[in-house]
Every structure is written in structure tokens, then in C-alpha cells.
Structure 1
Amino acid sequence: MKFDKNNYEVKELTLENETIRYRAFFNLVYVEKPVNIAFQQMHIFAPEIYYEGGEVNGYRLKTAPVFMPNQVGGYMPGDLEQPGLSKFETDKVNTIFRALAHGYVVAVPAIRGRVQKDEKGFYNGKAPACIVDYKAAVRYLRHFAKELPGDEDKIITNGTSAGGALSSLMGTTGNHADYEPYLEALGAAKERDDIFGASCYCPIINLDHADMAYEWQFQGVNDYHRMNMQMSEGGRPSFTPVDGVMNEVQIKASREEAELFPAYVNSLKLQDAEGKMLTLDEKGEGTFKEYIKELVLHSAQKALDEGKDLSEKKWLAIENGKAVDMDFTAYVKDITRMKTAPAFDDLTMDSPENDLFGDAATNCRHFTKYSKENSLAGGDMADEMAIKMMNPMYYVEDQGAAKAKHFRIRHGERDRDTSLAISAMLTLKLRNCGFEVDYHSPWDTPHAGDYDLEELFAWIDAICK
């Protein structure tokens, strides 16, 4: 593990009539004992003008925040990326380019994923490898802080979906002893791995309770509609629609999972901003559900204030330009179900999350009591510690975990990949413990990220300046 400040390239790139000149430090291996070296290294980029004594948006060489986006989706490996066009939207400039143009130092780590194996055929990217790698990359930045560009006390992580989950974990589990044996085994730097801010788009978190939350929201909606993605030889995605109706086993699982959710919500002892307890009764009704409805109404109101016509949304009551009420059941039918029950811990162990919780010799395992007891595949249960280390909810109140000072969480109003309750519970738990969270459910937004970079960068500027 080393850093040579003289080993760099100066590059210039023009996209969409905007030109950036930047200094690139490529392929920095961030651990002493990598087990998959291609996915345990990172690129670091900085505006070249900083090395010429200049500034961008008031930032200079040692005052610019270090923006640290990950490229993880579906808990698959996160690739190394460079400024350029988006991998999935080839007509769109990527976030790395935009962040550099805005004046941030950008550190982009590769991160191991659930499908990777070593030369002997053993898996080396199962949980908690992805979050351990992210932490190790932060420790590398801290270890070489004096020689690197940017302010390593102002690290902002960013990610979408599983990447959003990793960003939320970075924000809640800083320096916690649970991860230390894994970091030590890789030869990670003996530094802090807490961060300053966490940007989390539609985080797929709380996996051991996500099935309950999904069925609480979508209970009674038995038809599903999703798009299956395939990658072409050229690396571009194509999508095929898949529509169907859940079978009797899945419908039974949906009902039984939904019945488990109230007890979990009530165990969290969540409160709203006025101190009112947010709970559910045995039927899934109560103040917590009203809180979730308010999130959707707030999203609708913002859309109305921006001049959008929402009259086609028959589940939404609008009076004098105000979104005043909603039919939650009709809303859920409108956005439609995406996943069959159980949505995450599949009874046949055929989900990305079952894959995530395998071990070195086992591809897939269960990670919830319900699916283990009702397994159709006779699957084993994942290690309790691995399940814990992938769930930020366990660390919010843990005094042994350093938390980020600032969180920004976005979960689209039409996102069906996980329940809106999942991000709402994390937000509430963080706020109840005194942490600052900028939270919103953008109107008519599906499972996606980096769609509001101007607002994201404004948030980063506000917390860093």
C-alpha cells in the first residue's frame, strides 16, 4: 500500500460544451493484502487548477470536499470509473465529471461483489466484503491525507440502491469494532473510517426486515410487473418486461410477512418531529402508516407547487391546490408491485440478497427466520454477525459506532424495489438520535439515483462551507 504523488496524469475532457482539466491518480491499491486486487484499488481525481494555485467554487487544493461515489448495484462488484459518459445512460455525463467540474476531489473505489471467486473457486465478495472494502478505501485516504488532494475530514460517500445501502452503512458504522477483524486481515491502514456526510439514493437496507416492510406496503396486490435486465456483449443493458400473478405459496408468505411488521416497527420506538410515537396495530394501521402517507403527500405537494398536473391520480385528494389526503391502498395499486413474496429472502434462495449472504464455499443462504423456517430449498442460515454488519439500523444507537454529521436520503415516490417504510425508518431512527437527515421522496421517481445533482451538490456545499 503506497501513494506516489508524482505518479499522475493530467487529462482534459470536453462533454456537453463543458471542459474539465484534472489530475488523475490511477489504480491505487488500498490494502496491503488484497484478495482481489482488481477490486481493491481506486482512482482519485482533482481539478488541475488546484495545483496551479487556483480555486473552483471557493474550494482549493486542501479545502475541497472528497466526494466518494461507489458504483455498486445489486450488491454486485463496483467497477472503477472515470469522468465521462454514464455507463447506463450513454447520452448523459456521469456524476464523476459533474463533481470534478463543481470543484470536488473525487475518489472512486472499486469494491468486491457477491459473485466473485478466487483462483481456487472460493467466493471472496460475500457479505460483509463490500462494506469492508469501502471502509478500507477511506482509511487509505486518511493514511495519505497529507499528500493527497482534498480535505479528508470532509469525505462524502454516495451510492444508489445497494450502493446507497453501503453509503448509509458508511455513515452509521464508523470505526466500529465489528469490522476490525476483516480490515486487519486485508491489511487496511490503521486509521479512522468514519465519514463526514452520507448521500444515499434508494438504499436497499434492513434486509432482515425488508420482506416484512414490503408485504406491509404491497399486501393484497398479487400481480407483479418488473423489467428483467440483460447486458449485451457491448456492455449495454437491455430490458424485458415480466408480468405475472403470485402463486398460493407467495400469497401466503405475503400475508404472514405483513403480520410480522407491526411488532418490528413498535420495537423501534420511533417518534415524529413533535414527539408522537409512531406505531402500528395488529392490522398494520396506526400512526406509523399515517406518517408514511404524509411523506407521499409532501411529495405530491412539492410537485403541485412546481406546477405539475396530478389530476389523474384518483387516489390523491387535492383541494385548492393542496394535497390533503390519499387512499394508501389505491396508491400502492397505482405504483404496482415489482417483487413476489418474500421479496428479498426468497424461499427458493433465488434473490441477489440470498447470494449476498453466502460464504466462501456457499453461494446462497437465508437471512431471515421466516424464510429459513419456510424454505423450499433447504437452505442454511447466514451468520448472525454478517447480517448485522449489513444493516445500519443496528448501529444508529451503538455508541461504539461513529456517525456521520450529515445524511441525505432520497427514495422515489414510485420506487417499488423496497418499501418506502425502509428509508423512512432509518431516517426516523437517525433523527430520534439527534442526527441531521435531509430526506425526501421525489414525485414520480422510480428506483434511481444521481438525478438531482444540483441539489446534491448544493447540500454538500452547505454542510462543507
Structure 2
Amino acid sequence: MKHRAVKRRSVVLGIGAGAGAVAVGGITLNAQASTTASTAAASTSAGSTPDSLVFDPDAYTELTATLTDADGADHEVTYHFWKALTYVAKPVDEKYQSLNVNVPVKIDGKKVDASRAPILFANSVGGYMPSSVADATGVGGGGMTGMPTGGASGSPAPTASSSGGTGTGEVQSGGNAMVNGGEMVSLPKLALVAGYVVVEPGARGRTLKNSAGEWYGTAPAAIVDLKAAVRYVRANKGRIPGDTARIVSCGVSAGGALSALLGASGDSPLYDTHLKEIGAADASDAIFASGDWCPITDLEHADGAYEWNWGSNELSTGKQVDQTVSKQLRAQFAEYQAGLKLRGRDGFGPLTARNYDDYLLKQYLQPSATTYLKSLSDSARTDYLAANPFLTWDGEQATFTWAGFLAHVGARKKTVPAFDAFDLSAGENNEFGAGTTEARHFTAYSLKHDTSGTTAKRLAADIPEQLRLMNPMHFLVGKANPQRARHWWIRLGTKDSDTSLTVSANLAAALAGLGDDVDHRYYWDQGHGANTDPGDFIAWIAKVCGATRK
């Protein structure tokens, strides 16, 4: 990406306003907002917002970059860039509690008015580790960091569920970039070249430790920070370009989990104390839509779900995990799944541990394989079928058994338990650390079987509340949150054994049961962090935002 930076001191909102339109990558954005309307909104939006949280529309750098759209075409994009704006009045660590704003003003020399464009809110969290935009030099420059600010960590090494992946797709720099056929995909760049406003927030994460030895980025710091960042954007309606009522979040892995949580928990009072402590703006933290890739979520039930899915698969060493532990955890999943009382999509009926394999096959896996096979040339399809005899192809549809699918995926990524490790070595154990305690158990089962030497006899008293604050399912099952997002894009690779395939399927089933708009699909033969249809996501944003815009 080539940059040409020029300092500007002119009013951003309303530049180029008029009845024109810009079409990029098949998406047409109309320019209808006026300077008068924007200025009037700005004059009334501050309310009780502290001066430190008032967005300065003039304090940008103008950059020009050559960006590639979703169809592979290059465009010269001139945009205004606001760097490292602290989004809370009482930051714990400004390096992480800041955001960047990117607003397109010209695409291929034609003026763009993005004052009412959708806002892509792209977090770059990976592994529940801290992410920062402080060193970014332009759009898509944020990323996760692993080392604490207080010196050497000694923190548990990030687990595969937390920080990386395998297979065809891998997480790179959290949600900002994902692999697509070996090429990097940057949703912020795709959104900018499509004419959207892009906000990239940083957030505290689990590996941060201060000089007193206190871990200050563990749960629920990341979601609290992202909520505060949304509040900053919404408090600056009329100042910050873009439609603040059309914020669409996105993230990958742990970032995908946080994006889902952001969508599910909008305006929940459960976070109020935490938000007040850091001086968050007095505004809504609800978002309009949520894009979630391979979300590592529902952590307190993830060990059981993982064993239900991958329990019979061997590790890459060729050895099986402890089958006694695996079976006990599978039994926990069965109990949990029954308690959810979810119904499968498209009239499938109640989802249980006994029929979930059939549901995944019919609803997601076989359709995914079918789509993939139809995309191949005749010769490539013949070769693929010959190499994968578990799969039957009748010319129109792919079918196979659950056992055949598991054998096709092969080695499982993790040992048992996958998330709440007996020896406290998982990244998720660190995520639930507190004070000077680096890592803690968050399930009674793993605490009972602890091998780390902890003397605790029961889970810490705050763990249930921390789990509630970190799990979107708590805001969707039972009494659903009325301020949740209503539009959802959820994706997962079929070879992603960083978590169970049931995790995103449960999320989608819960949302669909509430009547929300849910686009949930699995990428055939793809691994953790894959994104093979980024252009469709960019078009989906235009569709859902335009369909409901008044």
C-alpha cells in the first residue's frame, strides 16, 4: 500500500456533498448528506461528553493509497486518517484504549461523501491478547500484541484456540487480516475502498501486567474497552463521519468472540460499573450488525463441546487423549445442550447431543461440500472425489457420514481439556486471571482435577460474573437482550478444530430462534481464521444497512 500524507485543517463533514454516487466493487454509495445537517447534529451531540472525548473533525492526516477491492481491481483511495484517539476519559493504558478512524474522501479521483456511510468497527484482537493501533500508519495497521508493558511476562503461552490456527486459513494480526487461498484479506481496506468509514479500536488483553505484578487486561477488560470505543463513536454523532446508528463490528477467533459479544450485549447494564471506572462516554454501546469469524466463545462449556466434536480424533502425535476425561466432558455437553432448549434452523427441531451430528451434516457440512465441489472444474472435481472416497457425489449434492467427516479432518488441534487446562497452561486460564494471580480455573471440573498445585477448593467468587460478562449466549438464551444487534454474519472453517463446530451453530440457532437475520456458513476444508468470501461480507453490509435506513 502506497501512502501520500498531507496535513489538512479543513472541515471534513460535508465535503463533496451532493447527489452524486460512487460505485466501487459493485457497491453504489449515494452522497446525500449536507454540511448543514452534519453541523447541526454536531452542535447537539456532545451532551455531557467530557472535552477529552469530543472528536475533532479537523485533526486528520490525508493519506492516499492504492487499495484492491473485493473483485481484485486496484483503486486510488484518498482518505482522512485520525490516529490513536483515546476513547475513555480515565484510561488504564492509552496505548491500547485508543482507536483510529479512516474516512474515504476520493476514490479514483471522484469525491465521496461518507458522512452517512456504514461504519465498520474492526477489532484486531487475537488470543484475548492486547491489541493496539498506536503504531499504525494507515488503514488496517492495528494488530494484537503478546507482551505485557510491565516487563517479562511468564504468562502461559497462547493456545491454538487463542492466537493462531492451522489448515488453509490462519489468523494474522487478529481480525484485521485473514487468509484467503494463501492471500491476506484485510476487511478494513476492503471496506474503505467500498466507501465505508472504518474505525479500528485497540483493547486491553490478558498478557498485560503492571509494575506491581497486577494483570490488568484480563476478563472483562477487552469487551469493556470495545464497548467504550463504540460509546465514543456514538457520543460523537455528527462530528465523526459515518452513520453512528449503522455500526458493523467484525473480528476473528477471540476477536470474533468479542464481536459476537458486542452484538449480543448492547447497552446491558451489567457493564456499567466497569465502563464508569474507565470514564466511558455517556452513550449507547449497541451496534447494528456483527461479523464473527471462528468465534472462540461460550468458554465455560467449550471443553465439553470440544470433546463431543473432536473427542475420538487423535492428536497430531497419533495418540488419543484420555478417553475417560473426554467422555466425562461429553456428558457435560449433553446436559448443557439439553438445557439450552434450542431448535435447529429450517425446521430441524430440538438440538441435542444425540442429533447434533446429523444437524451439522444437513444444515452446514454437506451444503458446504456441495458448494465447493460445484465450484471446481470437472477434472478438478474428479481428482478431489478420487482423493476423498468418504464423500459421495450425485452430480448435484455431496453426502457423507459424520464418522467419514471426522476422519477427513484428521488430527485434533488440542489436548484435553482444550480450554480450562488442568495445569492452568491455556491462554483462557490467563484470560480469567485476576490481580496478581496470573491464571485461574473457570470450570469446577478442571479445578477438581487440577495438576498445577493450586490450593483452591472452589472457583473464585467472581468467576460466575466474569463468565457471564464474556459469553454472548447469556444475552440470547432465556431473557434475550432487546438491544442486541439484529443482523449477523458468522463463518467457520470445516477443518477448524480450534473449537467445536457446535459453538457457532448454537450461536446462530439462538439468534435465528429470536427472529434475527443470520447468515451463517462453513468454509469447506478451511482452517482457523479462514475468510473465503470477504467481498460478500462487504456487500452484505451495504444490504443490511441500506434495507433499514430511513
- Structure 1 residues without counterparts, runs of 5 or longer: 226-242
Q: More deviation in 441-450 or 156-165?
A: 441-450
Work out which of the residue numbers 515, 519, 526 in structure 2 matches 1:434: 515
Partner of 1:292: 360
The correspondence of residues 72-221 of structure 1 with structure 2, limited to 5 A, is 72-80=125-133, 81=136, 82-83=138-139, 92=184, 94-221=186-313
Partner of 1:342: 417
Q: TM-score, normalised by structure 1?
A: 0.89
What amino acid does structure 2 have at the position aligned with 1:404? Answer: A
Partner of 1:30: 87
The answer as to whether partners of 1:206 and 1:392 remain within 8 angstroms in 2 is yes
Q: Does residue 436 of structure 2 align to residue 361 of structure 1?
A: yes
What amino acid does structure 1 have at the position aligned with 2:467? Answer: I
CA distance in 1, matches of 2:110, 2:240: 15
Q: Deviations over 1:90-133 (max 9, x none)?
A: 97463322211111100001111100022322111000000000
Partner of 1:417: 498
Q: More deviation in 305-314 or 32-41?
A: 305-314
Q: CA separation of 1:26/1:194 partners in 2, compared to 1, >3 Å: closer, same or farther? A: same
CA distance in 1, matches of 2:339, 2:318: 35
1:194 to partner: Cα distance: 0.5
1:49 to partner: Cα distance: 3.2
Three-state SS of the structure 2 residue aligned to 1:245 is coil
CA distance in 2, matches of 1:293, 1:22: 45
Q: Deviations over 1:213-271 (max 9, x none)?
A: 110111222x313xxxxxxxxxxxxxxxxx45245xx3321121112211111111111
CA distance in 2, matches of 1:99, 1:364: 37
Q: Deviations over 1:25-55 (max 9, x none)?
A: 11110001001111000000101239x9933
Q: Does residue 125 of structure 2 align to residue 64 of structure 1?
A: no
1:392 to partner: Cα distance: 0.5
Q: CA separation of 1:93/1:430 partners in 2, compared to 1, >3 Å: closer, same or farther? A: closer
1:84 to partner: Cα distance: 5.7
Q: CA separation of 1:46/1:220 partners in 2, compared to 1, >3 Å: closer, same or farther? A: same
What amino acid does structure 1 have at the position aligned with 2:85? Answer: L
Partner of 1:235: none
1:318 to partner: Cα distance: 2.1
The answer as to whether partners of 1:159 and 1:449 remain within 8 angstroms in 2 is no
Partner of 1:405: 486
The correspondence of residues 266-305 of structure 1 with structure 2, limited to 5 A, is 266-280=338-352, 284-286=353-355, 288-294=356-362, 295-305=364-374
1:274 to partner: Cα distance: 4.7
Q: Does residue 84 of structure 2 align to residue 12 of structure 1?
A: no
Same amino acid, percent of matched pairs = 34
Q: Does residue 332 of structure 2 align to residue 260 of structure 1?
A: yes
CA distance in 2, matches of 1:274, 1:94: 33
Q: Deviations over 1:330-369 (max 9, x none)?
A: 3112212111011111111110111101112211111112
Q: Deviations over 1:348-396 (max 9, x none)?
A: 1110111101112211111112111111124453511001111111101
> RMSD in angstroms over aligned alpha carbons?
2.1
Three-state SS of the structure 1 residue aligned to 2:407 is helix
Partner of 2:405: 331
Q: Deviations over 1:273-298 (max 9, x none)?
A: 45443343xxx432x22101111111
1:158 to partner: Cα distance: 0.3
Work out which of the residue numbers 363, 368, 371 in structure 1 matches 2:446: 371
Q: Deviations over 1:134-192 (max 9, x none)?
A: 00000000111111100000000000000000000011000101111100100101111
Work out which of the residue numbers 100, 104, 109 in structure 2 matches 1:47: 104
What amino acid does structure 2 have at the position aligned with 1:271? Answer: R
What amino acid does structure 1 have at the position aligned with 2:359? Answer: Y
Q: CA separation of 1:317/1:278 partners in 2, compared to 1, >3 Å: closer, same or farther? A: farther
Structure with higher Rg: it is 2
The answer as to whether partners of 1:296 and 1:413 remain within 8 angstroms in 2 is yes
CA distance in 2, matches of 1:30, 1:84: 19
Q: TM-score, normalised by structure 2?
A: 0.75
Work out which of the residue numbers 376, 388, 406 in structure 1 matches 2:468: 388
Partner of 2:38: none
Number of aligned residue pairs: 435
Three-state SS of the structure 1 residue aligned to 2:434 is coil
CA distance in 1, matches of 2:189, 2:288: 22
What amino acid does structure 2 have at the position aligned with 1:343? Answer: A
CA distance in 2, matches of 1:91, 1:424: 27
The answer as to whether partners of 2:185 and 2:534 remain within 8 angstroms in 1 is no
CA distance in 2, matches of 1:12, 1:49: 9
Q: Deviations over 1:8-33 (max 9, x none)?
A: 11011225643211101111100010
CA distance in 2, matches of 1:183, 1:378: 35
CA distance in 2, matches of 1:118, 1:402: 35
CA distance in 1, matches of 2:450, 2:483: 37
What amino acid does structure 2 have at the position aligned with 1:387? Answer: L
What amino acid does structure 1 have at the position aligned with 2:474? Answer: Y
Q: Deviations over 1:390-428 (max 9, x none)?
A: 111110143455110200000111111011111001100
1:6 to partner: Cα distance: 1.5
Three-state SS of the structure 2 residue aligned to 1:346 is coil
What amino acid does structure 2 have at the position aligned with 1:257? Answer: L
CA distance in 2, matches of 1:61, 1:15: 17
